[in-house]
Amino acid sequence: MEKQYKFEKNYSKSTPTHMLGEKSKIFGPIRDHMKYDFRNSYPAPELLPVSNILKSLEKELTIVGSSKNLYPDPQGYLPFRELISETLHLKRQMDISPENILLTDGSGQGIHLVAEALINPGDAVIVDDFVYGGTLWSLRRFHANIYGVSSDQNGMIPEKLQETIEKIHSNNQLCKLIYLIPTFQNPQGTTMNINRRKEILSIAQNSGIPIIEDDGVANMRYEGQHLPSIQSLDDTGITTFVGSYSKMVVPGFRLGYLVASDSILKIIEIIKGSRGVNKFSAFAVYRFAKDFLENHLKVLNFELKTRRNTMFEALENNFDKKYTSWSTPEGGLYTWLEVAPEIDLKKIQLQSEKLEVSYDLGTNFSPDGSEKNSCARLCFSGCSNEEIITGISILSNLIHKD
């Protein structure tokens, strides 16, 4: 019966096919859960503090009462922004007024807003050689030319960054953004040390290119000390910082924030309008952050560390370091596996998924969408220790058989 409406905007042309996914339905279901699921970059269900979140919401609603605070708020619940300001001071050495913080619908919304604010179609954006798919999605959405820069165990390599900027300029493109996840980079798990942070920042400042610093899962640190953020080292205001409470509380509840200079926030206000973040989540997560988060992080990080160690042990027991390597992050939810080029992890995935073992291929994190089949992200956060041991053993058997 449906008369096809002809769209004047050509979405199929402007949209890379890898943005469309391989879904049979329009909005695909959540990916089928597998028994040994190394794709799942969330804490396992038993690690979610559901009952304390409920307590927190109840308490905060009692405090707020039947007041105007129940109504929408464009910038986000002020007590929460004040708490974020204090926390960033303590943990990231940042000196930020709550006026420069915007609550967002996860950190993804923050990245999306900054991309929309700065990027015209064809502008260049610099990222790591492998990078979080949600960010790639936002950058492609605004038709950026995305340049991946090589990294070592300290993250993005300064010389390579400088070369890439020169290449972009020689292509007569404007470079609008450098996107960085300096701590437990997603997917590679690398962390930039303080010197590397300073070197990269200095290049960005000298070239006048804004940075988005994604704090990612930096609070899920179970070894070593918190490092100052790049934003804290930047006295020029070109660094925008995004953070999130979603993964360390309950992922579906989506509560992030963005820290930006006045000039960037002014543009974002135009783009975003007056529609504020969900207040329900803001109340619950704020009160949880005040009353429960420090203890929750202790439990969560202890559990994640155990699972990470199990993963490392399983990798060592099953793989020969001659043809495989993996990153060894001091925190986070995943490690990055690299195998010899003759091993095709895409082909092996076809077999492994029949045995309920799955992982995200390097291709999913590839800035230009090209195939990268000798690397994969292995998340240990969503599996039990037993599942990690069995899953890695199955994977290893398939690789050795290959």
Residues 359-398 touching its own copies, rule: CB under 8 A, are none
Which residues within the stretch 106-145 sit at the binding site for its own copies (CB under 8 A)?
106, 108-109, 117-118, 120, 123, 134, 137-138, 141
CA distance 56 to 51: 9
Given the rule CB under 8 A, which of 87-95, 260-268, 318-326, 389-397 is the region that contacts its own copies? 260-268
From the CA atom positions of the chain, what is the Rg in Å? 21
> Closest separation between CB of residue 306 and its own copies, Å?
18
> Closest separation between CB of residue 283 and its own copies, Å?
9
Closest of 156, 145, 138 to residue 203, by C-alpha: 156
CA distance 34 to 348: 16
> Does 342 engage in binding with its own copies (CB under 8 A)?
no
> Closest separation between CB of residue 66 and its own copies, Å?
4
Number of H helices, E strands in the chain: 14, 15
Closest of 221, 285, 276 to residue 253, by C-alpha: 285
Q: Which two tokens stand for residue 130?
A: 């492998």
Which residues within the stretch 58-77 sit at the binding site for its own copies (CB under 8 A)?
58, 61, 66-75
* C-alpha angle 262-267-270 in degrees, rounded to nearest 5: 125
Q: Which two tokens stand for residue 122?
A: 């064809």
> Does 206 engage in binding with its own copies (CB under 8 A)?
no
> Does 8 engage in binding with its own copies (CB under 8 A)?
yes
Q: Contact 256/245 with Cβ under 8 angstroms?
A: yes
> Does 11 engage in binding with its own copies (CB under 8 A)?
yes
> Does 2 engage in binding with its own copies (CB under 8 A)?
yes
* C-alpha angle 171-174-180 in degrees, rounded to nearest 5: 105
> Closest separation between CB of residue 343 and its own copies, Å?
29
Interaction mask 148-187, its own copies, x per CB under 8 A:
--------------------------x-x-----------
> Closest separation between CB of residue 309 and its own copies, Å?
23
Nearer of residues 62 and 370 to its own copies, judged by Cβ: 62
> Does 46 engage in binding with its own copies (CB under 8 A)?
yes
> Closest separation between CB of residue 77 and its own copies, Å?
9
Q: Which two tokens stand for residue 341?
A: 């080029």
DSSP classification of residue 33: P
CA distance 364 to 169: 28
> Closest separation between CB of residue 44 and its own copies, Å?
9
Other CB atoms within 10 Å distance of the CB of residue 80: 26
CA distance 179 to 363: 18
Total number of residues that touch its own copies (CB under 8 A): 84
Q: Which two tokens stand for residue 294?
A: 């420090």
> Does 292 engage in binding with its own copies (CB under 8 A)?
no
> Does 24 engage in binding with its own copies (CB under 8 A)?
no
> Does 280 engage in binding with its own copies (CB under 8 A)?
yes
> Does 251 engage in binding with its own copies (CB under 8 A)?
yes
> Does 323 engage in binding with its own copies (CB under 8 A)?
no
> Does 252 engage in binding with its own copies (CB under 8 A)?
yes
Sign of CA dihedral 23, 28, 33, 36: positive
Contacting residue, 97, 193, 263, 295, with its own copies by CB under 8 A? 263
Contacting residue, 28, 152, 193, 320, with its own copies by CB under 8 A? 28
Q: Which two tokens stand for residue 311?
A: 């993963």
